[in-house]
Structure 1
Amino acid sequence: MHQPLTGDPTPTAEGNDILMTTREDDRSNGRRRRGWAAVASLLLALAGALIAYPAPAQAATAITINGSSGGRTFDGVGAISGGGGNSRLLYDYPEPQRSDILDYLFKPGYGAAMQIMKVEIGGDTNSTSGAEPSHEHTRGAVNCDRGYEWWMMAQAKARNPNIKLVGLSWGAPGWIGNGNFWSNDSIDYLIAWLGCATSHGLTIDYLGGWNERGRDLTWYKNLRSALNARGYAGVKIVASDDFGWGSADDALRDPAFGAAISVVGSHYVCGYRSAQTSCPSSANAVNSGKTLWASENGSDDYNAGAPALARGINRDYIDGKMTAYLNWPVLAAITPNIPWATTGVAVAPQPWSGYYAIGMSAWVMAHTTQFTAPGWRYLDGASGYLGGNRNNGSYVSLRSPTTGDYSTVIETMDAGSAQDLQFSVTGGLSTGTVRVWSTNVRSSNPADRFVRRADITPSNGSYTLTVQPGYVYSITTTTGAGKGTATSPAQGGLALPYADGFDSYQTGRPAKYLSDHQGSFEVVPCGGGRTGQCVRQMSEQAPIFWTSGHAEAFTLLGDVNWRNYTVSTDVMLEKSGYAQLVGRAGNYNHDGPQNLNAYYLRVADNGSWSIRSNTTAGNQRTLASGTTAALGTGRWHKLALTLNGSTLTAAVDGVTVGSVSDSAWVAGQIGYATGQGVTAQFDNLSVTPLGGSTTPTGEIRGAGSNRCLDVNAQSQSDGATVQIWDCNGGANQRWTATSSNQLTVYGTKCLDAASASAGAQVRIWSCTGGANQQWRINADGTITGVQSGLCLDVTGAGTANGTTVGLWTCNGGSNQRWIRA
């Protein structure tokens, strides 16, 4: 087949983003260029004067893909479910959306096609975006049906039977080693977890120690011995899932430790949340004889993190000989007030509406996972930097161990111009048709992601390719790649009233939409003489924490935009202490999950009660308090917290015990909470709406700052700056959402974007009806420009009075979520 000449391209479906020639055509072009250069030289000599003419085209980067080249065995690209409850809401999604999302994550030839999945071994403690339940809350009481990670692994295996599974602890129940993770208790605990995996028909391929909390070399040796002795000799140990390559140094110093572990896994090898331009390991790591993994990377937005992901997958191997890349996390199936609400390769924040979104990161990942498989081998001679320059981009080549198939993945994230690549294939590899797929990472159009381009027919194993800046390309002799077609429903709020009696669930499972953030709340048979099922807080003592902040047990449910409502529940304390109802819950800090923007009704077994407020800074206030009849233990009582505007009212057993006025929090979720180690049961949850839940005119309050969208200095002039300021009820803070998608203030001025670019100033201007004055108010709390598609953003994630507001790429930050009056 004759290919178009580079100098006279035939446009593809995406314009001239890919240009291909055979080696023979390229030689013809070279002869023509040399001929014209000779003519120009002759003219120059005849004229006797300096004549300027265009420089010859830059020489193509030559890449020889030699199947005999040395290289390490590829282990896969995947992600982490855990490190904090980030998959929680996926379990509650309706069909077909739940299966669609799982297909996009794991199904070969459909989406991200993950090849490895690491899961959290739950420890009843917060590990970033939530807490995951332990299989053994108390010593010896093993329950293999708790939580959702078993389900998640089974779903991944059903779609890709070859996916590799990894287990790792972030925290653990407090009974282990009397609070010391590096104990024989934790070894027994992990082996019990492996037994649970077996009971679910799952084989765990790799097991780690304690995430990002150092290492105890003797413990790893003992773990290896215990695994061998108890039927798990095939489980490989990863050490130590921390920062740096100290485990490789230890493996060289301590041969017994080196013999115990199979993989040296390091986190954020390119730098934490970096652009992932340079990803070295260490000389000791490379020379240790151990498999090297980038065992946690990412922590980036599902779209904005795509360029870093594209660099890192390639450069981890080129720079540091790492053969696996694990992104944190798999997806963000959490509500938008929770830390890291848009990280992963997809978001799934609304099981009640079925809404989800697949990010550009999924398609960047697919460029490796859909064209390779664990067991393939990197070809070192066909992996490197384009033109020897990191700024041009990188490429890696891998080959099948059983056939002549090969794939080359190219990224040009930082390139400034198009580049010609000249390929020669040798060493027993296929010289047949080459298929080309591309993703324009700089484009916001989903149609530009994972696009099948025109095939190349090599000539004597040679062909050329012109690559454009800001792209990922896969060139491959494999077949079977594809792009899923399932689409998401629209976003929507969780309607009130809402109620749950908890009788429809299997014992040990989470109740619908209830997401734990410390401790473990799960469905059990009711106590206290009550029939049916209840939610019980299961953690009986302080856990081995992973976060620096030691929160008490709490779980949240609902829509972050719920505003005025009464939340009520039945509660039974099993031991002395207190239980709490939570209202208008908003953000918390992942290092200090105890610091939650929320109101609480706290009632203790001795009858003491209080209405309280907390903030992300830990500023706890008691707003009202008193004493009622003792609740005691083992007896059922009804608690109710009413939040109506600024009026907060508490009731116990149907009797109002106190009321207070406070306006710190205007909307948010409901929840249950207990004191540390206090076991309690909850039943008959009810959330009843009150009048005035939404009004067309009122304040727009920033979720991150808790300050109001404000016109600077109460100006009514066109161009006046919009900022955040303490809410004060002023006319410059009262906004009306019109039927024309405008947000007006003073009745005649519109919220106006100076341009449609990220970083554009937002101001007020006389209403014109223009698209730059039209806004979408979304169910997740974001406000996006109709013209730009960008989010209304508090500059620099600032929280101080006077911080300006503008447009920015939507990234899930709390500075991009707004609460309307």
Structure 2
Amino acid sequence: MTVDGTSSGRTFDGVGAISGGGGNTRLLYDYPATQRDQVLDYLFKPGYGANLQILKVEIGGDTNSTNGAEASHQHTRGTVNCDAGYQWWLMEQAKARNPGIKILGMPWGAPGWIGNGTFHSQDMIDYYVSWLNCAKQHNLTVDYLGGWNEKDYVASWYVSLKSALRANGYSSVKLVGGDNWGDNAWKIATDMKNNNALYDAVDIAGGHYTCGGISAMTTCSSTSDAQTLGKPIWASENGSQDAETGAAPVARALNRGYLDAKTTAYINWPIVASIYQNLDFETVGLVNANQPWSGNYRVGRTAWVIAQTTQFTSPGWKYLDTAGGYLAGNRVNGSYVSYAAPDKSAWSTVLETTQATEAQTVNLKVAGGLPGGTLRVWSTDLSQPGKDTPSMVRGADLTATNGTYTLTLQPGRVYTVTTTSGQLPGTVTSPQRSQLALPYSDTFAGYSAGREAKYFATMNGAFESASCAGGRTGQCLRQMAQVQPIKWTHENSTQPYTIMGELGWSNYTVSSDVLLEKSGSAAEILGRVGTQGRNNGGLNAYHLRLSDTGAWSVLKTSWTTNNTWIWTTLASGTVSAPGTNTWHKLSLGFQGSTITAKIDGNTVGTVTDNSFGGGLAGLGTAGYYPVQYSNLSITPGTIPDLSGTYKIVSVRSSKALDASGGGTANGTPIIQWTDTGSTNQQWRLARNSAGYYSITGVAGNKALDIPFATTSPNTQFQLWTPTGQPNQQWQIAPADNGNFTIESRLNAYNVAIDANSTADGAGIVQWPTTGATNQQWKLVKIN
């Protein structure tokens, strides 16, 4: 390989990630300041962690856009709040750490008043301009704007948007067009070639998942029209993969996106997994941060493979085409891409061997005015997930012999050879996970206007602090979206709601004061909120609903595999009509299978249902209208102590948790096996003061253990000498129909049957929360 500064090559535009699409950064905002700053450093601080060069944020629309709803800055026409939501805060934090980071804004949905429900309208163009005006108030320079995420575009609307940007002083803002996937990924490039006005309006053609969806991303693609467009083409959304197991695919996409498709920017969705575990994609991103009360977070290997490019390059550098390709011409061996500074003062080559099976030797020369001398080598090891601490480490420097540098590449790694210096990868670790203790309360009185309440994550609508009505002073929480938004998702029930808490909560009472502002409205409180279907396609939860007429109901919602909401009425009746502008207290209590509904302290209904054994709490409305909330309270019921000796039996297979072969030695793998009654299928549960359990085999007094305390999904459990460490501590929580889930304190993964198998001998592994029966267990008590 010769790294030649005279090589041709396109301009590198950067590597970034997306906050939005939606709600994936929500919980990070509520983290303790120390840990929040650490996570932000890992994302944005130069030379420290992922060192992101582009931050793409959702322009909020009050509608679910995957894992939540991002707040609009203009819930109703003409009423602008430039402090709504947390994306302004995130952009400010990114800029404070890296002033050179590029900002891209893009909507997934929009408030329903826009264009009377029509996205491609003058209202939406005006909405963009008002959002840019808000950015200016925050001293933020926006570099790029995108159109409607993954929806068909209207060419004339892009032209009108560009004209409006020029007329309003935003001529420097570049438009990214298309932003679709599959067969439509590069339609924008063809249309730009055939439409001069569109070509003038759109500065960059963006395609999504151009290296495949949630896949190995071994091959990337674009079209001839895209590659000969004469303008940059970007992989403007990619990823959607677990922070650990997605690292190797992302490493490939970073290199191969340019080699195969000539895309000059890569933007990962999402930036962090800072969402509750009942939501889809709950471990997807660069950092997992879903416990703001404990401050626990995990930096994934994906952050480090991105760092292998971003810490050693800058937007504006040039790709060196003659120093890029596939090792020995074979994709399996790996790929390499080289970059040089415009003035040739520095260069870097990134090599990945993520699919290689043996060591390879690279002989490297430098030419074309690029510096030589001593070269630095950094690498990230992906070959043994869980057996290494995820990070990027510096290796031995390279010096030339007769003008040639020699580097041996091991399989399963990402390497960077560079002339740059100053990198100092972060090594800070987070606190241990802990349970959010009950009782919990919040008056909602102490927030500045337009803020979401602590720990609450809005799924639809907009729940923000606002001045109380009904004679109360101070602030209350208010549902602000007044019209059904222009949706991005396709759920059949779109009512607003917001959730908070722990999946491990089981027996508790949630209550809140509510005020209905308009006739025809209804307020809800939610409890035992569990799994949500993808893109808000259904929800396991119980609801207590009260309308202004006095009609009340206890409702159960669930979802089907095709992501459809199912509503079941468990009880209903009427009380004196609360009317509007008066405060009333709703209360929903759970103790075992008994559910008790109260209104203004009076029991109105008691039902028996064991469909859902535990979950979060929430607040909601039955439609898009204003409702206010105050004095939230969540108080514990009787929490059973499960200490004792049990068989642990899979709901999926009816087979028992088993120490393989009756083994008792350290390292004995854990499997499922037909119930034999043997002691290698008996487990002693003991609860500690923090509320977590140890699970110890009766046969040999060895603990259920996560090998090497790994953070990698699909790792099989083993027996090991008890240590009391988090990789041997478990949260055992009621699930559906009287069953239980078993969650690791270390990493919040669930105990699951590998590949959903029902066969004897199938491995018992850790896996992110899905709510499926291969993650649910019956505890059959022995003594």
- Answer yes or no: same fold by TM over 0.5: yes
In 2, Cα distance between equivalents of 1:548 and 1:427: 54
In 1, Cα distance between equivalents of 2:305 and 2:770: 22
Residues 1:491 and 2:425 aligned together: no
Give 2:494's aligned amino acid.
A
* 8 Å contact from structure 2 (residues 659, 681) kept in 1: no
In 2, Cα distance between equivalents of 1:722 and 1:369: 44
What is the SS of the residue equivalent to 1:738? strand
Offset of residue 504 of structure 1: 1.5
The answer for unaligned runs of 5 or more in structure 1 is: 1-62, 726-730
Give 1:214's aligned amino acid.
D
In 2, Cα distance between equivalents of 1:399 and 1:716: 54
* 8 Å contact from structure 1 (residues 123, 170) kept in 2: yes
For the structure 1 residues 64 and 749, does the alpha-carbon distance in structure 2 shift closer, same or farther, using more than 3 Å as the test? closer
| Structure 1 partner of 2:576 | 629
Residues 1:658 and 2:602 aligned together: no
| Structure 2 partner of 1:582 | 526
The answer for unaligned runs of 5 or more in structure 2 is: 664-669, 734-740
In 2, Cα distance between equivalents of 1:328 and 1:115: 14
* 8 Å contact from structure 1 (residues 439, 449) kept in 2: yes
For the structure 1 residues 424 and 708, does the alpha-carbon distance in structure 2 shift closer, same or farther, using more than 3 Å as the test? closer
| Structure 2 partner of 1:543 | 485
For the structure 1 residues 759 and 260, does the alpha-carbon distance in structure 2 shift closer, same or farther, using more than 3 Å as the test? closer
Cα shift readout 1:500-525 (whole Å, capped 9, x = no counterpart) = 01121110011100100011100011
Residues 1:87 and 2:25 aligned together: yes
Cα shift readout 1:495-546 (whole Å, capped 9, x = no counterpart) = 1000001121110011100100011100011011111110001111111111
In 2, Cα distance between equivalents of 1:526 and 1:249: 53
| Structure 2 partner of 1:134 | 72
| Structure 2 partner of 1:423 | 364
What is the SS of the residue equivalent to 1:397? strand
Cα shift readout 1:7-40 (whole Å, capped 9, x = no counterpart) = xxxxxxxxxxxxxxxxxxxxxxxxxxxxxxxxxx
Residues 1:668 and 2:615 aligned together: yes
Q: 2:626 aligns with which of 675, 679, 682?
A: 679
Q: 1:122 aligns with which of 36, 52, 60?
A: 60
Cα shift readout 1:99-150 (whole Å, capped 9, x = no counterpart) = 0000000000110000001000000000001111101111111110100000
Give 1:596's aligned amino acid.
L
Offset of residue 481 of structure 1: 1.1
Offset of residue 95 of structure 1: 1.9
Give 1:686's aligned amino acid.
S
In 1, Cα distance between equivalents of 2:596 and 2:674: 29
What are the within-5 Å matches in structure 2 for residues 623-772 of structure 1?
623-692=570-639, 694-696=641-643, 707=651, 710-711=654-655, 722=672, 736-738=684-686, 743=695
Give 1:354's aligned amino acid.
G
Residues 1:222 and 2:160 aligned together: yes
For the structure 1 residues 581 and 184, does the alpha-carbon distance in structure 2 shift closer, same or farther, using more than 3 Å as the test? same
Residues 1:358 and 2:299 aligned together: yes
Percent identical pairs in the alignment equals: 48
For the structure 1 residues 805 and 162, does the alpha-carbon distance in structure 2 shift closer, same or farther, using more than 3 Å as the test? same
Cα shift readout 1:583-640 (whole Å, capped 9, x = no counterpart) = 010111123x151111111111111111111112233221111111111111110000
Q: 2:764 aligns with which of 803, 807, 820?
A: 807
Residues 1:597 and 2:540 aligned together: yes
In 2, Cα distance between equivalents of 1:819 and 1:532: 47
Residues 1:75 and 2:16 aligned together: no
* 8 Å contact from structure 1 (residues 708, 733) kept in 2: no
In 1, Cα distance between equivalents of 2:162 and 2:362: 47
Residues 1:777 and 2:730 aligned together: yes
For the structure 1 residues 203 and 501, does the alpha-carbon distance in structure 2 shift closer, same or farther, using more than 3 Å as the test? same
* 8 Å contact from structure 1 (residues 331, 347) kept in 2: yes
| Structure 2 partner of 1:569 | 512
Q: 2:496 aligns with which of 553, 566, 572?
A: 553
Residues 1:410 and 2:351 aligned together: yes
What is the SS of the residue equivalent to 1:362? helix
* 8 Å contact from structure 1 (residues 699, 820) kept in 2: no
In 2, Cα distance between equivalents of 1:510 and 1:398: 43
For the structure 1 residues 259 and 790, does the alpha-carbon distance in structure 2 shift closer, same or farther, using more than 3 Å as the test? closer
In 2, Cα distance between equivalents of 1:490 and 1:216: 50
* 8 Å contact from structure 2 (residues 15, 52) kept in 1: yes
| Structure 2 partner of 1:456 | 398
For the structure 1 residues 402 and 790, does the alpha-carbon distance in structure 2 shift closer, same or farther, using more than 3 Å as the test? same
Offset of residue 185 of structure 1: 0.9
| Structure 2 partner of 1:210 | 148
What are the within-5 Å matches in structure 2 for residues 229-628 of structure 1?
229-243=167-181, 244-443=185-384, 444-447=386-389, 449-459=391-401, 461-549=403-491, 550-575=493-518, 576-591=520-535, 593=536, 595-617=538-560, 618-628=565-575
Offset of residue 783 of structure 1: 3.7
* 8 Å contact from structure 2 (residues 515, 581) kept in 1: yes
For the structure 1 residues 611 and 697, does the alpha-carbon distance in structure 2 shift closer, same or farther, using more than 3 Å as the test? farther
* 8 Å contact from structure 1 (residues 700, 818) kept in 2: no
Cα shift readout 1:303-362 (whole Å, capped 9, x = no counterpart) = 110000100000000111111000000001112111111110111100100100100111
Offset of residue 485 of structure 1: 2.2
For the structure 1 residues 479 and 813, does the alpha-carbon distance in structure 2 shift closer, same or farther, using more than 3 Å as the test? farther
Residues 1:64 and 2:2 aligned together: yes
Give 2:209's aligned amino acid.
Y
* 8 Å contact from structure 1 (residues 791, 807) kept in 2: no
For the structure 1 residues 535 and 151, does the alpha-carbon distance in structure 2 shift closer, same or farther, using more than 3 Å as the test? same
| Structure 2 partner of 1:167 | 105
For the structure 1 residues 448 and 329, does the alpha-carbon distance in structure 2 shift closer, same or farther, using more than 3 Å as the test? closer
For the structure 1 residues 699 and 205, does the alpha-carbon distance in structure 2 shift closer, same or farther, using more than 3 Å as the test? farther
In 1, Cα distance between equivalents of 2:289 and 2:706: 32
In 2, Cα distance between equivalents of 1:721 and 1:393: 35
For the structure 1 residues 552 and 302, does the alpha-carbon distance in structure 2 shift closer, same or farther, using more than 3 Å as the test? same
In 2, Cα distance between equivalents of 1:574 and 1:372: 55
For the structure 1 residues 260 and 572, does the alpha-carbon distance in structure 2 shift closer, same or farther, using more than 3 Å as the test? same
Give 1:564's aligned amino acid.
N
Bigger-Rg structure (1/2): 1
| Structure 1 partner of 2:753 | 794
Offset of residue 288 of structure 1: 0.7
Give 1:184's aligned amino acid.
Q
For the structure 1 residues 216 and 80, does the alpha-carbon distance in structure 2 shift closer, same or farther, using more than 3 Å as the test? same
What is the SS of the residue equivalent to 1:610? strand
What is the SS of the residue equivalent to 1:619? strand
* 8 Å contact from structure 1 (residues 165, 203) kept in 2: yes
In 2, Cα distance between equivalents of 1:615 and 1:734: 34
In 1, Cα distance between equivalents of 2:404 and 2:575: 85
Deviates more, 1:614-623 or 1:227-236: 614-623
Offset of residue 458 of structure 1: 2.2
For the structure 1 residues 643 and 213, does the alpha-carbon distance in structure 2 shift closer, same or farther, using more than 3 Å as the test? same
Give 1:474's aligned amino acid.
T
